[in-house]
Every structure is written in structure tokens, then in C-alpha cells.
């Protein structure tokens, strides 16, 4: 007898280890019921799980005689309705053996369902009538978590005599063994549910982090675009619609450094409208602004390369940066601009005007030790020379 007790104890330990190692909830529930059936030598069994609305839902149903395997990993759906733990009015439903075990927290043993009036076995008897089965002995054990809360019910049906196979009552010695196994099963179920909840929370947290990261990324992208738009707006001259002096200073600095590194020539054109003060004095500043806008567009129309930069330098002066351009080509472009502006019809505030332009051209291949102001000063000197020659002229610096 002692040897049998030791063997049973070891079996319970091994079952507990196997249950604790199983992480898949369907596999775990199926393993619980199969181990309980095997230990009690039961022909059939059912595992119920308590739902949040106090229903005992059929999760696994096994019957060897009828060759039934439903729920779990069987792929066969259990169509039986759940068992309510409470009747209408909130009273405990103790007429059903499974819900009674859940409500009382006590193990219930029935030797023969057909010879007791303690419970309503009408559903069981209808099942027997339809299938030809004979439900007799029941061992129903509540499953409790660590807080002694009912999380389900394990029910075994029809214990079999190991020798004859005859259906017999569950022995008194089997009750504590199945209760011990149920206790292990409850711990394993609770742990698996906790792991699943943690995994779900982890996924939800990861999803929220992804959502927040995406929101932050989107917000940063919008902020970056807004910043770029604002920067773009601050680089335009409101009157002419071309780049302003601030943009020129930054772009010229970048282009100068690049030309110094790569050793290529850079040309600068300084353009000044001839006698423009008289336009403002005679026709007013509105006409003067319209005139500046028209001329800026006229100059821009002669620039064909994306790298060429036109900006308003100040007042009625404009500046053009021409990377990779020698003075001869810069001079040709300056002449084209001068001729174009001279022939450009200008209507400002209803007045037809004719404007000419003077241009100074300077070219240099920068070195690291050059002062970038040197090229501007050279172009400005050439512009001064053009004006001194009577205006509407292009002069090249001797730099």
C-alpha cells in the first residue's frame, strides 16, 4: 500500500510539472482532463471554465465509449449551452451538479445519477436517451485560484473497474487524489491566464508605444515641414517674390566654401536699376514696387540653371550667384539680362515705364585663405564703373 501511495504521489508530481510547463491554454485544459480521466479510470469527463458573467462554459468534453472529443484542440465545437451559476433573482443554481460545486466550493460525488434526487439530471438523461449512453457515477471538483475564487469545474463521469471494465462509483480514495490534481490544474490555469494577460498587456503596450511613436514622428514631421515652410517664407522678398538678402548671405557662404574645396570658379553679378529713385518720386512707391516685381521676374526668366541664385540685394539692387561660371560666360549672361530689361514693357500702377539696368561682373576661383567679401567688392566696383560710363552698361572686374 505504501508503495502504491508513493507511486501515486510521484505521478501527481509529474503531472504537476507537466501542467506547469504547458503554456498553450487549449493544450493545458486538454491535458488536465486527460490526466484526471486516466488517474480515476473514468470513461468520460468535462472541463468547465467560469466566465465573467458567472456561466460555466464547456471547454473540453471527452467520452471514450461514444468516441467524442469536443473543444480544445479537437477542432470540434461544443454546442451545449453554458451552465448558469445563478438562477433568476440571483439565487445560486444548486440544482445542477456542476454549478452547485462551483457555488459551494465543495467536491460532489454521486454514485448513480438515476438514483438521486439531489440534483436535476434531466439534461444528462436526455443526452443518454439520444445517444444510448448510461451516465452513472459523477465526481465533480471545483477549481479554485490562489484567492479561493472558483475559476472552473472538473467533472469526471463513469468510473470503470480496472479488471472488468464495469461502470462503478468513484472510490473514496479517488476523491482526494482528483482534488490534488485539480489544485495543481487550477494553479497551472491561473498562471497561464496571467501569462496570457501579461502577453496581451505587453502587446497592447507595444501597440500604444508604436502609436505614440508614430504620432510623435508625424508631429515631428509636421513640425519639420512647418519649420521648413517658415524658413522658406523668411527667405523670400515680399515685394519681388524672389530670394532676399538673408538667403543670399547664407547661400553665398555655402557656395563659396564648396567652390574653395572643389576648386571651381564662381561669378557674381551685381545689378542696379538706373535712376530708380525718380520712379518712386514721380509715380509713388506702389508703382515702384510693381516695377521691382516685374524686373525681378524678367531677370529670373534669363536664368536657366537650377544652381544659379537670384536675390534682392537691397533697395533697387539685385545679385546673382553663378557657380562653375567663368567671367566670359558671366558677361554674356549679364548682357542678355541688360538687353532684356531694356526692352521689357513695364506697367506700374497704370503707368508705362522703361527701365534700364547697370551690371557689375566679377569672377574668382576661391582659395581657403580668400575673403569672400573680395568677390562682392569686385562686382560692386565693376557696377560702379558701369554707372560711371553712363549706366545701362555691363562692366567686368579686373580681379
Q: Does residue 382 sit in the same domain as residue 304?
A: yes
Q: What is the structure's pLDDT at 203? A: 86
Going along 127-217, which residue ranges are E strands?
138-144, 150-160, 167-168
Q: What is the structure's pLDDT at 6? A: 61
Q: How many domains does one find in the chain?
A: 2
Q: Does residue 307 sit in the same domain as residue 181?
A: no
Residue carrying the nine cell digits 445542477:
96
For residue 168, tell me if it sits in a domain: yes
Lowest mean pLDDT among 10-19, 29-38, 214-223, 308-317: 10-19
In degrees rounded to 5, what are phi and psi of residue 177? Answer: -65, -45
Q: In whole angstroms, what is the distance from residue 265 CA to residue 323 CA? A: 7
Catalytic residue among 30, 290, 316, 317: 316
Pick from 44, 57, 54, 71: nearest CA to 127: 44
Q: Are 292 and 240 in contact (CB under 8 A)?
A: yes
pLDDT in tens, 121-175: 999 999 999 999 999 999 999 988 878 888 889 999 999 999 999 999 999 988 9
Q: CATH number, domain at 330?
A: 3.30.70.270
Q: Are 385 and 272 in contact (CB under 8 A)?
A: no
Sign of the C-alpha dihedral computed for residues 82, 87, 90 and 96 taken in this order = negative
Whether the pLDDT of residue 272 is over 70: the answer is yes
Q: Does residue 148 sit in the same domain as residue 10?
A: yes
Active site residue 59: no
Query: In the listed set 180, 200, 220, which residue is the last one of a domain according to the structure?
Result: 200
For residue 216, tell me if it sits in a domain: no
Q: What is the structure's pLDDT at 202? A: 83
Whether the pLDDT of residue 196 is over 80: the answer is no
Alpha carbon distances (Å) from 151 to 49, 101, 183, 202, 387: 6, 11, 11, 24, 99
Structural domain boundaries enclosing 9: 2-200
Q: Does residue 369 sit in the same domain as residue 263?
A: yes
Q: What is the structure's pLDDT at 2? A: 43
Q: In whole angstroms, what is the distance from residue 263 CA to residue 68 CA? A: 88
Q: Does residue 16 sit in the same domain as residue 113?
A: yes
In degrees rounded to 5, what are phi and psi of residue 62? Answer: -125, 135
Question: pTM above 0.75?
Answer: no
Pick from 137, 135, 138: nearest CA to 126: 135
For residue 378, tell me if it sits in a domain: yes
Average pLDDT of the chain is 88
Q: In whole angstroms, what is the distance from residue 90 CA to residue 86 CA? A: 5
Whether the pLDDT of residue 399 is over 80: the answer is no
Banded pLDDT at 182 (limits 50, 70, 90): confident
Q: Does residue 190 sit in the same domain as residue 256?
A: no
pLDDT in tens, 11-25: 656 665 555 666 666
Query: In the listed set 184, 200, 216, which residue is the last one of a domain according to the structure?
Result: 200
- Helix pair 285-300, 276-283: axis angle to 10 deg: 140
Q: CATH number, domain at 51?
A: 3.30.450.40
Query: In the listed set 174, 200, 226, which residue is the last one of a domain according to the structure?
Result: 200
Q: What is the structure's pLDDT at 3? A: 45
pLDDT in tens, 280-325: 889 998 889 999 999 999 999 999 999 999 999 999 999 999 999 9
For residue 325, tell me if it sits in a domain: yes
For residue 228, tell me if it sits in a domain: no
Q: Which three cell numbers stand for residue 136?
A: 452513472
Q: Does residue 104 sit in the same domain as residue 192?
A: yes
Please return the burial class of 107, using the count of CB atoms within 10 Å of its CB with bins 0-12, 13-18 and 19+: middle
Burial 349-387 (b: 16+ CB within 10 A, else e): eeeebebebbbbbbbbebeeeeebeebbebbbbbbebbb
In degrees rounded to 5, what are phi and psi of residue 70? Answer: -130, 150
Lowest mean pLDDT among 13-17, 35-39, 254-258: 13-17
Q: What is the structure's pLDDT at 17? A: 58
Q: What percent of the chain has pLDDT over 70?
A: 90
Amino acid at each position: 500500500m505504501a508503495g502504491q501511495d508513493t507511486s501515486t504521489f510521484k505521478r501527481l508530481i509529474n503531472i504537476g510539472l507537466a501542467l506547469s510547463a504547458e503554456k498553450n491554454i487549449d493544450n493545458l485544459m486538454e491535458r488536465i482532463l486527460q490526466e484526471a480521466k486516466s488517474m480515476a479510470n473514468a470513461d468520460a469527463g468535462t472541463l468547465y471554465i467560469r466566465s465573467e458573467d458567472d456561466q460555466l462554459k464547456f471547454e473540453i468534453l471527452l467520452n471514450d465509449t461514444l468516441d467524442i472529443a469536443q473543444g480544445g484542440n479537437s477542432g470540434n465545437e461544443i454546442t451545449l449551452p453554458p451552465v448558469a451559476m445563478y438562477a433568476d433573482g440571483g439565487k445560486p443554481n444548486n440544482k445542477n451538479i456542476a454549478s452547485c460545486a462551483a457555488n459551494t466550493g465543495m467536491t460532489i460525488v454521486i454514485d448513480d445519477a438515476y438514483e438521486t434526487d439531489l440534483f436535476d439530471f434531466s439534461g444528462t438523461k436526455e443526452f443518454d436517451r439520444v445517444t444510448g449512453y448510461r451516465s452513472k457515477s459523477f465526481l465533480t471538483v471545483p477549481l479554485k485560484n490562489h484567492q479561493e475564487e472558483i475559476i472552473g469545474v472538473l467533472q469526471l463521469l463513469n468510473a470503470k473497474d480496472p479488471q472488468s471494465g464495469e461502470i462503478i462509483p468513484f472510490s473514496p480514495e479517488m476523491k482526494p487524489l482528483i482534488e490534488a490534481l485539480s489544485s495543481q490544474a487550477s494553479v497551472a490555469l491561473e498562471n497561464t491566464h496571467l501569462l496570457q494577460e501579461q502577453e496581451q498587456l505587453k502587446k497592447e503596450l507595444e501597440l500604444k508605444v508604436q502609436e505614440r511613436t508614430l504620432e510623435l514622428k508625424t508631429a515631428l514631421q509636421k513640425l519639420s515641414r512647418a519649420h521648413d515652410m517658415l524658413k522658406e517664407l523668411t527667405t523670400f522678398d515680399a515685394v519681388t517674390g524672389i530670394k532676399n538678402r538673408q538667403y543670399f548671405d547664407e547661400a553665398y557662404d555655402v557656395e563659396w566654401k564648396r567652390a574653395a574645396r572643389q576648386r571651381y570658379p564662381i561669378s557674381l553679378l551685381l545689378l542696379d536699376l538706373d535712376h530708380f529713385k525718380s520712379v518712386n518720386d514721380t509715380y509713388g512707391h506702389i508703382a515702384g514696387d510693381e516695377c521691382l516685381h516685374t524686373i525681378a521676374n524678367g531677370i529670373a526668366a534669363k536664368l536657366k540653371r537650377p544652381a544659379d541664385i537670384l536675390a534682392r540685394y537691397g533697395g533697387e539692387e539685385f545679385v546673382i550667384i553663378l557657380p562653375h561660371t567663368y567671367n566670359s560666360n558671366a558677361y554674356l549672361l549679364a548682357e542678355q539680362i541688360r538687353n532684356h530689361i531694356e526692352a521689357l514693357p513695364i506697367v506700374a500702377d497704370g503707368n508705362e515705364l522703361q527701365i534700364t539696368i547697370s551690371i557689375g561682373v566679377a569672377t574668382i576661383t576661391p582659395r581657403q585663405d580668400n575673403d569672400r567679401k573680395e568677390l562682392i567688392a569686385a562686382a560692386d566696383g565693376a557696377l560702379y564703373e558701369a554707372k560711371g560710363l553712363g549706366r545701362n552698361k555691363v562692366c567686368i572686374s579686373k580681379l
